[in-house]
Chain A
Amino acid sequence: MKRRILLPLVLLALAGAAGAEEPDARQLVKNAIDHWRGLSSYTVMTMVIHRPDWERSMTMEAWTKGDDRALVRVIEPKKDRGNGTLTDDDSMWTYSPKVNRVIKVPSSMMGQSWMGSDFSNKDIARADDIIDQYDHTLVDTSVIDEIETYTIQSVPHEEAAVVWGKEVLTIRADYVVLEHAFYDQDGQVVKTLTSLDIGDMGGRTIATRQRMQKADEPGEWTEIAVLEVEYDLELRDSLFTLSNLRNPRD
């Protein structure tokens, strides 16, 4: 299983690095997402929410499996421990131990902030939309830090249910996303996800620290730093269920 998937990845990476042919933009985006997420993953990360007059830090663990499923649970601070989010396809549920209830996030709230950060619920739940519902064009190729880097413009299909006018991704040939900018319908940047640190973790080269920055609020950003990551591990399907969101079994 592992080998079958990895081999084409390596081949593609080689092809890209050699510059033998123009890479397929859509494939680049898909590979970048797959690279970040793997077939399955377990991540421990810290999220720092920064505001001009205060800052807040949270540590969370996250599991993902396949394209659709993800479970995120807060470890620190103690006060918020056990709060969690489960996403499956486009649906999202949230759990709070204080009230011991699982609540489905209504679609009208999907554009709202996720856990008080600069990420929206949609950012967390719908990473795959960009592959299925966008047209991708390679607009620039350059070499950054001796690695071939592609700039891809992704424009949503007419009927796609997305709020963005377009997204621009800067992806290295090794599928590390350097920058991901979100534009509104008027072509103005709304927010940008930038990779601040890139390193080797869990057997891959990944962005270990990323910052989401809103364009019109320079003093407000959210940073996610990966502390620990494991890829392609065995994860039970029962991990991604509502009952597990409520009562962690591990």
Chain B
Amino acid sequence: MDITLRLAWRNLWRQPRRTWLTIGAMVFSDVLLIFMISLQFGMYGLMIDNTLRIFSGHIQVQAPGYNDDQKMRQAVPDVRPLAAELRSDLGSETIAARGKAFGLASSKERSYGIGVYGVEPAFEPHVSNIPGLVDQGRYLGDIDAYEIVIGSVLARNLRVAVGDELTLLGSGLDGSFAAAVLEVVGTFDSGVQDIDRNIGEMPLGAFQEIFFMNGAGHQVVVMAPSLDEVPALQSRVEALVAGRDGLVVRDWDALEPGLKQAIEADMSSAFFMYGILVILVAFSVLNTQLMSVLERTHEFGVVMALGMKPARLGGLVMLETALMGLIGLVLGALIGAAVTLWLGTQGYSVPGMEEMAAQFNLPARIYPETTWLSTLLGPTVVFVFTLLAAVYPALRLRRLHPVEAMRSA
């Protein structure tokens, strides 16, 4: 074994420049893969987290059909006691009840149709980012107060400021006229145009009174500690609400169907590119190894005439490739990890990306996420393909006849 290993190592450095060039291609693609993959993972994490943290949460308890139609009458009866019960049964504070209605919001000068959420001011901050994004005034306090926080764009459009009155007109649960005058106590700036322009939040108690909800609401939002714990938590919630008014439990994929699709689409197109990159590297390795095998045909013929088995020669070529690949893997992973770790603290942004990032609720500066998986995935795949590329040159040796081989060149 030592002799083969030593032979392989020496063979590798008979052409140092060629070897380094091939290793260079591997390292380059390794670094690129590590950077791209950790950037992508970082982005997906942010996309999911930011989108779900604005409103939908990880899990929602709703009336059947509400997810598709969002009709006022598809309500969850006694929504506040239900949320309180889930909080105590699951031992979690990240659960909050909500109601949702559409209405006409008017200031003295202007009117706009908006979506109004009735929320529990004490628990909403645990399930949503909005309370933390209040930039003027304050968030809601008393659950029965006639007050509202609205998006900053809506406030600008309505020309209202904190302290002004807003009239809300809509239809109640029984179809009757719902109307109220609310005090604007705060505005929030989420950076997402659609939300800042069309949404208001008010205390759930007042919401239920104004819209004649009779204690009902439309959703109980549940936040899991992390995305991985959602399925387990979902089945626990399902067990707790089973048989109650036919209530259904939806996970984030059902609540935000576009999100997973966007990620999957992005992922498959990205992995297609990675595939091309890896195959190109594999071909360059194939080229190198084929060349080094061909130029040693005479030499191989000699050692075979001396009694070396073709299989062992093939093993030698594979070992040479493996050594080269290993150097590439280690260097690539080290440099790649260093680059992403550095960018993980500095952040990464492409000029002009802000617009696109805002669409997916992303900040303009992205911090790649360096994990063992994102660091080792790309280099390992490159390594495996490098070995595969060496199979053909190695197999060629089996068809080598010592006499013919010694005659060539």
| Binary per-residue interface labels of chain A (34-68) against chain B in the complex, 1 for a CB within 8 Å, 0 otherwise | 00000000000000010101101000000000000
A99 interfacial by beta-carbon distance below 8 Å: yes
Minimal Cβ-Cβ distance residue in B for A96: B179
Q: Interface-forming stretch among B81-89, B104-112, B235-243, B374-382? A: B104-112
- Inter-subunit contact A80/B104 (CB<8 Å): no
- Inter-subunit contact A103/B169 (CB<8 Å): yes
Total residue contacts A-B, CB cutoff 8 A: 56
A116 interfacial by beta-carbon distance below 8 Å: yes
Known: A51-B73, A109-B104, A116-B171. A103 touches B111 (CB 8 A): yes
Residues B98-147 near A (CB distance < 8 A): 104, 106, 110-113
Residues A150-195 near B (CB distance < 8 A): none
| Binary per-residue interface labels of chain B (158-174) against chain A in the complex, 1 for a CB within 8 Å, 0 otherwise | 00000000010101001
Distance, CA A54 to CA B212, complexed state (A)? 15
A248 interfacial by beta-carbon distance below 8 Å: no
Known: A49-B175, A56-B175, A99-B180. A108 touches B112 (CB 8 A): yes
Known: A51-B73, A53-B73, A54-B73. A105 touches B111 (CB 8 A): yes
- Inter-subunit contact B113/A106 (CB<8 Å): yes
- Inter-subunit contact B111/A106 (CB<8 Å): yes
| Binary per-residue interface labels of chain B (248-284) against chain A in the complex, 1 for a CB within 8 Å, 0 otherwise | 0000000000000000000000000000000000000
B181 interfacial by beta-carbon distance below 8 Å: yes
- Which residue of A79, A99, A109 contacts B167 across the interface (Cβ within 8 Å)? A99
Residues B174-188 near A (CB distance < 8 A): 174-177, 179-181
Interchain nearest-CB distance for A5 vs B (Å): 37
Minimal Cβ-Cβ distance residue in A for B107: A103
- Which residue of A53, A56, A103 contacts B104 across the interface (Cβ within 8 Å)? A103
- Which residue of B106, B167, B175 contacts A116 across the interface (Cβ within 8 Å)? B175
Residues of A within 8 A of B176 (CB): 56, 77, 79-80
Residues of B within 8 A of A116 (CB): 171, 175
Residues of A within 8 A of B181 (CB): 99, 101
Show 23 residue pairs from A and B whose CB-CB distance is below 8 angstroms, ordered by the A residue: A49-B175, A51-B73, A54-B174, A54-B175, A56-B174, A56-B176, A79-B176, A94-B104, A96-B169, A96-B179, A98-B180, A99-B167, A99-B179, A101-B106, A101-B181, A103-B106, A103-B111, A103-B167, A104-B106, A106-B110, A106-B111, A112-B113, A116-B171
B residues whose Cβ falls under 8 Å from a Cβ of A: 73, 104, 106, 110-113, 167, 169, 171, 174-177, 179-181
Given contacts A103-B111, A112-B113, 17 further A-B contacts (CB under 8 A): A54-B175, A56-B174, A79-B177, A96-B169, A96-B177, A98-B179, A99-B167, A99-B180, A101-B106, A103-B106, A103-B169, A105-B104, A106-B104, A108-B112, A109-B111, A109-B113, A113-B171
Lowest 7 A-B CB distances belong to which pairs? Answer: A96-B179, A98-B179, A56-B175, A103-B106, A116-B171, A99-B179, A116-B175
